[in-house]
Amino acid sequence: MIRWGIVGLGRAGLARRRALSARDDSVILHECSRRDGDAPSLRTLLDSNIEAVALCRESALHYDDVRAALRADKHVLVEYPLALTHGEASELAELAHAKERVLHVGHFGLLNPFHKRVAAAIDEQDVRGFEYVFSAGFGRAIRPLCDASLWGQSANSRLQALWSWFGPLELESSEVELKRDGYEIDVHLRDRRGRCVVLRESRRAGQTRGRSVRGVDRSENSIELPAWKKWPDGFVLDTECFVQQVKQSGSQSYIPLADVVDVVALSESISLRAEIRREVQKAKDE
C-alpha cells in the first residue's frame, strides 16, 4: 500500500484524489488545502510517513514544493509545468536522481488517443509545416503568469506535445500581443529536419477552450489531421504510470524527465525573447 499526501485541492488536486481513491494499492493519509484551516501545513505533511506526494498547487509554487518534497525523501508526482526556469527544472531533476526518488510530471495530454493519432499522421504523411492553435479563457490561474511575462511557461503543455511529435525544437521567434482581456502569442519553431512548427495561443476572458492542428506537405497542400477530442481518463492513467514507477524501480514513464527539462528551457526562452505589442497602448497613442 502506498501512503500518499496531496497538496492543493483545486481542479487538479481533486482529480488526483478521485484517481487515488479508486485504487486498492494507495491510501491518502494527508491533504493540504489552503481553504481548510484545519488541514496540515506542507511541512507537517512532508514530515509524516507518506511515501508519495501529489503536488497540485499553482504553477509558480511547483519548484519550491518539489524541492521540499524531494529533500524530505518523498516520491513526487507534480502537475505541469515542473518549474518556470531551466535552472530550476534541471536542479530538480538532479535532486531526484541524487535522492533516488521518482519525479514525474503529469503531462497526460501525451496519453490522449488524439496525441497518438497526430503522431502517427505526422510520421505517415510527410508533414513539412505544422500549426497548433489553442484558445482558452483568461482565468485566475493564467493572469498571474501573464502579469509576470511568463507566456511561454503558460504554453508548456502544448510545447511538450510539439516536442513529442517533432523532437528537439529551436526557437525562431516569439510575438506576444497584450489585449485588454488577455493576450495572444505566436511562436515559430524549427525541428532538426528543418520543418516549420508554429504554436498560436489565445487567452481571452470568457473564451471557450479549444484546440486544433493543421499540417501541410512540401507543396503546401493541406494534410488531413485528427480533430482534438475531450478525454476524461488523463489523471487516472497518469497516476497509474507514476504508481508503476514507484512500485518497480526501472519502470519508465511515458515522458523522459530530460525532455521535460528541455521543454521548460524552451518555454522560458519563448518568454524571454518575446517581442511584445500592446493593443491598449497603441489605441491610446492613435
Residues that bind ligand NAD (CB under 6 A): 7-13, 32-35, 56-59, 79-80, 106, 140-141
Residue nearest to ligand NAD (CB): 10
Q: Which residue has the cell 541524487?
A: 98
3-class secondary structure, 49: coil
- CB–CB of 102/96 below 8 Å? yes
Please compute, for residue 218, the number of CA atoms within 13 A of its CA located in the half-sphere on the CB side: 4
For 56-151, strand residue ranges (E) read: 75-79, 103-106, 129-136
Name the residue nearer to ligand NAD (CB basis): 35 or 229: 35
Name the residue nearer to ligand NAD (CB basis): 82 or 122: 82
Distance CA 45, CA 90 (A): 25
Name the residue nearer to ligand NAD (CB basis): 207 or 214: 207
The rounded Cα 183 to chain-centroid distance in angstroms is 19
Shortest distance in whole angstroms from residue 137 CB to ligand NAD: 12
Distance CA 60, CA 144 (A): 9
The rounded Cα 204 to chain-centroid distance in angstroms is 19
Shortest distance in whole angstroms from residue 231 CB to ligand NAD: 11
Name the residue nearer to ligand NAD (CB basis): 9 or 92: 9
Shortest distance in whole angstroms from residue 172 CB to ligand NAD: 26
Name the residue nearer to ligand NAD (CB basis): 84 or 127: 84
Shortest distance in whole angstroms from residue 216 CB to ligand NAD: 30
Shortest distance in whole angstroms from residue 232 CB to ligand NAD: 11
Distance CA 134, CA 162 (A): 12
Question: Which residues are 190's β-sheet partners?
Answer: 170, 196
* Helix axes 86-99 and 62-71, enclosed angle (nearest 10): 20
Name the residue nearer to ligand NAD (CB basis): 54 or 178: 54
Shortest distance in whole angstroms from residue 86 CB to ligand NAD: 18
